[in-house]
Every structure is written in structure tokens, then in C-alpha cells.
Structure 1
Amino acid sequence: MMNAPGGPQLDNATLLEIIRAQSDIARLGLDLGGVMSFVAERAEMLTGAQGAVVELAEGDDMVYRAASGSVANMLGLRLARDSSLSGLCVSTGEILRCDDSEDDPRVDREACRRAGLRSMIVTPLKHLDTTVGVLKVVAPEVSAFSDGDIAALSLISGLIAAAMFHAARHETSELYLRATHDALTGLPNRALFYDRLRQSVDLAVRSAGGLGVLNLDMDGLKPINDRYGHRAGDAAIKETALRIAANSRRVDTAARVGGDEFAMILPGIEGRHDAQAYSQRITEKVSEPFEFEGQPIELGVSVGVAVLPEDGVDMTGLIDLADKAMYVAKRGRKVVG
């Protein structure tokens, strides 16, 4: 057995997994959003939690910037900083454990009930000697976590802190930019997309306005990688991102939400016909000729559309509908890869 610094003993298997995680994080480089998502998944696995989340302190809110397991669909959620265990963790800079949310006055009991949570560990994330967020694991059972889980989470949180330092050495504002934007394309990442979509849906519902959600999947990225190499694949992703962004309005959000997947939020549209017109224009613009190192490469996207309020007012439902519509479009184009 080996000791974790300042804490109880950890078994060799757990320490080995943390060392492996450090190597995997190094390969992610300056993609801080990717690092946070990876660490949330690894923290969930190492502690046997039902879910894990990285929350960043932004103004008066704690914002879910990475999430896995049971809380994965809460990405982009904002909670009041002054009434949560996460906010208290940021204020004190100390690791906090809740064994039962029903009798712990530090937690938002109603929020825990809605999420089906009873116990959690919250670990501070520090950047430039300031606590800027937390790494949190959660479970539906009472007293689900041990002192060993606290030690493991403390080591894992240190990996995020190191990635934060290397991604943003001098400015906390740069840290948030790195955490919310895709390293390859510079577009908003999945976490920021969900954050903005939650706010856009709420605003559209309150104002009885229209909102479009587009899911865009690149056509044929795998054949590009196989034939020309991953440098060409990365160039194709970046060019697709540029073309999507160039054909967006200032009020729109265009994001890279996966390897070859993009998404858009279209506020204030006038119904499905309007959203489909945007979809058609972007499809045409992305498909224009492109060359990489003298080689002509075919670019294309398959696009799915969902519209509020015609398709409902639930954020997750709109995303699912746009995703299904995208796969219908891809099958209709008989696209491979």
C-alpha cells in the first residue's frame, strides 16, 4: 500500500489509474474542456460514484462545465453559489463531504432531491492560488464515500489544476476561455453550448419567441483521415468550423460538440421554414471546394433541425429531435463516415 499525500492509504491499483490518467491528460494538451470531461469520467470510475461534475465559479453562479454519469444531462446548469456545497467549497478552499443531504444544512436539499442525490464529495480546484471551481462526485445512497475516495479525488483534482496552469498561466479570464472553447477550432465547446442553450430556451419560453437548434455532422471525415492522414482531417474540421461560423448571425451560437459534430442555436427565428433555410445555406457553403496541400477534399455536413415551440420547449427533447433528424438526413444522402 502507498499513502496519498496528506491523506489515508490508497491501493496500488487506484494509484496506477491516477498515473495513467496523468498520461492521458498530457496527450490532451491545451484542450482544457476535454481535460475536465476526461477527469469527471475518471473520478466517477475511481470512486464508484453515480456521477461526477466539474463546476466553475462564474460570478454568483456555479456552472457545470463538465459532467458524467447521472449528471451528464445537466451540463451547462447554473446554481446559486451562496446556497450550495460547491460554493462553500470555493469560499473555504477545503474538501467537503456530505453523507446525507437530508440532514446537512450546507446543501440545497430540494436541488439534491430533484437530482436524486443523497451523498457527495466536493474538492476545490485551484488556479493561481485562487479556488476557481470544484470537482464533485455524487451518489443516491447515504454515506456512499470513504476517506479513500476523498484521497483519490484530491489527487485527481490536482491533475485538473495542473492542466489549468498549463492552459492559462497568467490570467483567470484566459482559463474560462480555455475551459469553454474547443482547442482545435476556437468555437464554443459542448459545455458552453449547453449553457447557452439552457439560457436561450428559458428566454424564448418567457418571451414566447422562436428558437432553432441545429445538429450538424460532417460527412466523410473517416475517409479523409484514412486517405490523407489526420492532419488533413484536422484541416477539414477547422475549415468546416470556419464556414459554419462565417454563415452565422451575431446572435447565433455555433459550437463544436464532438469529434466531427457541430451544433447551432438560432434565436428569434420565424418557425421551421426559417430554420431549414439556415440549414440549407450552411450545407451549401460547407460543400464549396476545399484544398489541403494541393489535394482537393470534399467537405459536407448532414443537418438536423428542431424548433421551439413547434417541437416542444424541453432542451433535452429539442437536442434529441435535432439529432434524430440529422441521422435521417445522413441516410437520405447515403453518406458513409
Structure 2
Amino acid sequence: MQTAFNNVVPDNETLLAIVRAQTEIAKLGLDLGGVMSFVTERVQQLTRADGAVVELAEGDEMVYRASSGIASSLLGLRLKRTGSLSGLCVETGDILRCEDSETDPRVDREACRRVGLRSMIVTPLRHADTTVGVLKVVGAAANAFTDENIRALELMSELIAAAMFHAARHATSELYYLATRDALTGLPNRALFYDRLRQAIQQAQRASATLGILNLDLNDLKPINDRYGHRAGDAAIREAALRMNRTARCSDTVARVGGDEFAVILPGIHSKEDAERLGMRMVEQVREPFEFEGRALDLDVSVGAAVLPDDGVEMTTLIDRADQAMYEAKRMRKMERT
């Protein structure tokens, strides 16, 4: 579809950055979640925005599946399609521009205030002739964007669309699955972890129940990569993921949230001691050696736990508390080995 911005040409520096982005996206292969995260960070830089978001249309909601800048803490956020500029973009398939969220009747004003934005550009993401979501850049001030920014955003959205096509050529349902799964392990990725954690916190608070979180970090992965190569490192990550998932209960969500970082949502536990006990069971399973191409390689992992409501009721607070506990466990592990 031709838009009013097709004739606007970004400067050479921006075009070169987009070409470089194509190369980086090619390296990510079929890791659609990784592509979305990369593009949000890169488009924020290109447009000098305060934040960027990929939202996918799922039912009657728009879901934050990648985010950066001032929107980074809102990964997994769900908003109603109706009454939002992103929902309107999906409906019309047009690039939309908001100069000031405080005066624009098309936007969800409260949601904008929650993010901390005043202006934005929203461009459609298309897959198999269907608008499946949006790529959005946001500014903390009104009138933050130019026509050149809009054209750069449009070009970057085409890179995501190309990645979507190569990842899932026909089935839109497959597209949503790939966008929320870690390509290496098949586990839920960071975006899906945050989405499920937000929902689990809401359910626990409504039921006055306890909810646990585990943060796990593989130790000594770098020596494996350095000595045996990245194929061995990838095999170690896959094996650790398999063992964690095998140890988890059916109701738990085990996710890969970073390079050697994992996290687990533990609904329905009774106490922090229960969460810590489940975490140590995973540690014991992961620490068993595994075989790679005829060699026995050691695996090690550190874990930290946090529970709602004892350690807090906000998502970021719970994650921080679990992270702090994990780093303390990592420090103690190093002391044991010296």
C-alpha cells in the first residue's frame, strides 16, 4: 500500500543503519522474538524516540511483545484494541501519527500516561495479507517526530514483516507461537514470561494467594564456549532448559529470558520455603554433567526466589528480589569453590 510518506527519503546515515539492521536480522534467523526486540531498540535509536514497542493483535487485545526505552518495563502489557491508536492502525492498515496524546481523541489517554508518552507514530505489521500488529515509536514530549522518522519507521516495520514471512509463511497462528518462543530452547521467551507473570500476579492478588518467582543463571558457560565452541555452549543451554522444564510442575512456566538466564513462575505455592525448595530441585538436576560429542561437561546454575506478597506485589519488585537472591547464591557458590 502506498502512503503519503513513501516519497520521503531518510538521510544516508539512516539508510545505512537500516542496511546494517538487515544484516543483523539475517543472523538472528528464525528467532522472531529476537528480531522484534532488536528492531524496537534499533528503531528507537534511528528516530531518537524515547521508546519503541512491537504490539501484536491477539483477540480483542494489543499485547506488548517487544519494548525498549520508557516502554521497556511494560513488556507483556495487554490493552484493549478498541479506543487505542494501535488498534485503529490494525483496523485500517494505515500509518498513524499522534502529535499530542492529551488532545488526540483516537488514543487511550490513560494508557499513554502510564507509559509516559505524549506523541507517537504507529505503523502496521503485515503478514500473509493481514495486519497482525504494529511497530510504534513514542516520545515523552508532544510533536516529537518528523516525516523522516515516519519513513524510517515504515522501513524498519518492513524488516519485521520479512522476518515474519520467513518464520511462518502461511499460518498466522504459527506466527504468534514463534514470536513468543525462544528459538534455541523452545521455551517461552522474555516477552511471554512477562505476559504470563502479569496475569499470574493479577490472579494471585484476586485470590489472595501466594505466587513464586525463580531467577536462574548458568555459571561458567563462558569457559565451555571458549574451550569447546559456541555449539557446545548452545548444547549446554538446551540441556539446562530441558532439565528445568522436566523438573517443573505442570502449572509452572519455565522461560529463557536472556543468554544464560532463565526464570520460572510458580503459581499456587504456600511459602517462600516451598519456592526455594523447588528452585534447589532444579539446581540439583541441572548440575549433573552432560555429554557433548563424547565429552562429559559440567553444568552449574545459581537460583534466587521471591514470593508475592512477602517480597512485594509489583512485578518489577518481585523480579528484582529474585535477582538479588540469585546473585547472592552465585556469590556463595564462588566462595564454596575457592
Using the TM superposition, name which of 327-336 and 232-241 deviates more: 327-336
Identity of aligned residues (%): 69
1:179 matched residue in structure 2? 179
What is the aligned residue count?
A: 333
Q: CA deviation at 1:309?
A: 1.0
Q: CA deviation at 1:130?
A: 0.2
| Counterpart AA for 1:209 | A
2:277 matched residue in structure 1? 277
1:118 matched residue in structure 2? 118
Q: CA deviation at 1:289?
A: 2.3
Q: Distance in 1 between matches of 2:7 and 2:49?
A: 20
SS at match of 1:10: coil
2:317 aligned with 1:317: yes
2:223 matched residue in structure 1? 223
Q: CA deviation at 1:116?
A: 1.8
| Counterpart AA for 2:138 | V
2:57 aligned with 1:57: yes
Task: In structure 1, list runs of 5 or more residues that go unmatched.
Answer: none
> What TM-score results when the alignment is normalised by the length of structure 1?
0.97
Q: Distance in 1 between matches of 2:216 and 2:293?
A: 26
SS at match of 1:306: strand
Matches within 5 A, 1:1-337: 6-334=6-334
| Counterpart AA for 2:159 | L
Q: Distance in 1 between matches of 2:64 and 2:297?
A: 38
Deviations 1:98-137 (A, max 9, x none): 0011110000112212222110000000000000000000
| Counterpart AA for 2:265 | I
Ranges of 4+ aligned residues in structure 1 off by more than 2 Å: none
Deviations 1:38-90 (A, max 9, x none): 00001100001000000000001000000001100000000001111000000
Deviations 1:180-217 (A, max 9, x none): 00000000000000000000000001101111000000
Verify the 8 A CA contact 2:5 2:147 in the aligned structure 1: no
Q: Distance in 2 between matches of 1:30 and 1:196?
A: 23
Verify the 8 A CA contact 2:85 2:122 in the aligned structure 1: yes
| Counterpart AA for 1:95 | I
Task: In structure 2, list runs of 5 or more residues that go unmatched.
Answer: none
SS at match of 2:213: strand
Q: CA deviation at 1:5?
A: 7.7
Q: CA deviation at 1:178?
A: 0.6
Q: Distance in 1 between matches of 2:104 and 2:230?
A: 51
Q: Distance in 2 between matches of 1:111 and 1:319?
A: 23
CA-based RMSD of the aligned residues comes to 1.2
Q: CA deviation at 1:9?
A: 2.2
Verify the 8 A CA contact 2:269 2:275 in the aligned structure 1: yes
Deviations 1:216-263 (A, max 9, x none): 000110010011111100000000000000011111000000000000
Verify the 8 A CA contact 2:70 2:116 in the aligned structure 1: no
Q: Distance in 2 between matches of 1:6 and 1:113?
A: 31
Q: Distance in 1 between matches of 2:114 and 2:231?
A: 45
SS at match of 1:9: coil
Verify the 8 A CA contact 2:126 2:132 in the aligned structure 1: yes
> What TM-score results when the alignment is normalised by the length of structure 2?
0.97
